[in-house]
Amino acid sequence: MTARLWAFIILAVLAPAALSAAPFAAYVMDARTGKPVYSQNADTKLHPASLTKMMTLYMAFTAIERGQVRLDSKVLISSNAAAEPPSKLGLRAGQRIELRYLIRAAAIKSANDAATAIGEGLAGSETAFAQQMTSMARALGMRNTRFLNANGLTQEGHYSTAHDMSILGRRLFYDFPQYYNLFSRRSADAGIKKVSSTNRRFLDGYQGADGIKTGYTRAAGFNLTASAQRGNKRLIATVFGGTSTAQRNQVMGQLLDSGFGRVPNRVREVRPQKPQLLTQKVVRRAKVEPKPAATRPEPQRLVLKSSEPPARVVRQTASTAAVSDPLAAAVRKATQAQLSSSALRLTASARPRLRPAVRGNALQDALETAVAATPTEPQDNPAQSASLAAPVLQASARPARAPRSRASTAALGNQDAEAIARAVAAATAPDGQQSLSLLASPAPKPRSETVILAAMGEGDISNPEALEIVSRPEESGRYWGVNLGLYRSHAEAEKLLLKTALQDGTVLDGADRRIADTIRGFDANFVNLSKADAYLACDRLRARSQKCKVVGP
């Protein structure tokens, strides 16, 4: 029975086709999977006629999706677009009209002037737009298609196949479902007038038909790409080379009826992948003539500038004191004798402060008394020699222990060692100075760590650029999110986010709800998540048949 039906279809096609100059081709595919159901001359390159406008509209929808244009963008009509032959909307050169009206006219009325205006408005010229259409066709898998204009008027080198046009029809259905309803309208407002559909006969005459586009020229014949649904089944078919509108619609109906009987009721839907466009990257390099300072053959040198070395100060000790001073000589001899017996060393002490009672000539009187009482040979009695300096030592404050010499100072455990230290301090003081202290060299200045570089060429003398401080939030790892898709209203997106947050409170506890108002709708997102939480939340949503995707940084 199936063989007889196909034989009847072929006879019905070939009999009128013999009287027509346009060859016949047909292709039927299961829209759910993209697999072929029926094919006849499906890869033969033929004139597509106004089926070309399917690609013109696909390019327009893509531009809107990418944000290049909007539906209310005004398009300037050129004289070339206004001069296109019928079918046409009746546009005038210099006129400005919204893109939405041009799309309606091209999709429903198949207006040539509207299609040309769309191409020129998007690419600047119809030639450039045709090249973009051909590139998009290659990306969609249309291997035997080449476009030279945006409307489909007959032109040498402008061709396509029934197979390729069926692929394009499936792409329009899956890639832009929000615009697909245009192809099922019987009429629409095109701005300057109301237009009627060229496909209304097939839409009204075939049960389940919901699009999509017709085409006709003398060279192409009567063409049609149609889509229809029955239950869970959807077919997309293309017919090239019909002899009339009625004959073309009849053949299309027979092909669809036979196809619905052959495809299974339930299959796994395979959606087409996004098109992979091949782009050519152009890199331009600026040519700048180098300046002499940057091309000198002399090697660059680094100059290290440091602080001056500290001045060397000769430490004045008892051996360098004035020999003529009898008190100093006496104290020096007593010190040497005491150290030789006890093996003790004197350490540097802080500068002692004078007692308040020592003022005027009190210090001088004490020194004179000590000198007068000094014996002839103080080395014979070291203890008595040390006691001669008692009046002087009593006039000075007890020095504080130096931090670096605690160990050595602690060794002086008797009163005689302290007395000897004060005697040495008094003996080594310079003449004419009332303060008694040991002289020490000043601490050296710290070495500078600054490195000064010599001029390295052009640009080194300019002011340095300001540093940009970039700070991360406290939870620097929580910059992942979950996108729940686009919705028509802000309230609908907010309702879904709140419902989802209540259902998955453990994972989405620390997430923020964010709704972005875009040209396509309201984008619902959960943000401020870690990578692990984002994937876990999305997996749970998918388990409940909720569409989502993970958004990374």
Q: Which residue has the tokens 């049960």?
A: 207
Buried b (16+ CB within 10 A) or exposed e, 398-424: ebeeeeeeeeebeebeeebbebbbbbb
Q: Is 53 a catalytic residue?
A: yes
**What is the bridge-based pairing of β-strands 302-303 and 452-453?**
antiparallel
Backbone angles phi, psi at 165, to 5 degrees: -70, -30
Q: What's the residue count for the chain?
A: 553
> Contact at 8 Å (CB) between 265 and 233?
yes
**What is the bridge-based pairing of β-strands 187-189 and 194-196?**
antiparallel
Q: Is 110 a catalytic residue?
A: yes
> Contact at 8 Å (CB) between 227 and 29?
no
Nearest to residue 177, comparing CAs of 445, 472, 486, 498? 486
Distances (CA, A) of 550 to 66, 286, 460, 491, 538: 20, 40, 47, 22, 7
Nearest to residue 385, comparing CAs of 364, 368, 398, 370? 370
Give 61's contacts (C-beta < 8 A, 6+ positions apart). Answer: 172, 175, 176, 179
C-alpha to C-alpha distance for 86 and 217, rounded to whole angstroms = 11
CB atoms within 10 A of CB 49: 28
Give 538's contacts (C-beta < 8 A, 6+ positions apart). Answer: 482, 548, 549, 550
> Contact at 8 Å (CB) between 162 and 221?
no
Range 510-516, long-range pairs (CB < 8 A, 24+ positions) = 510/478, 511/481, 511/482, 511/537, 514/481, 515/490
Structure tokens at 510: 């620390």
User: What residue type is assigned to position 548 of the chain?
Assistant: C
Catalytic residue among 78, 88, 109, 110: 110
Angle, CA 64 vertex, CA 48 and CA 178 arms, to 5°: 75
Element (H, E) at 258: helix 245-262
- Return the active site residues: 50, 53, 110
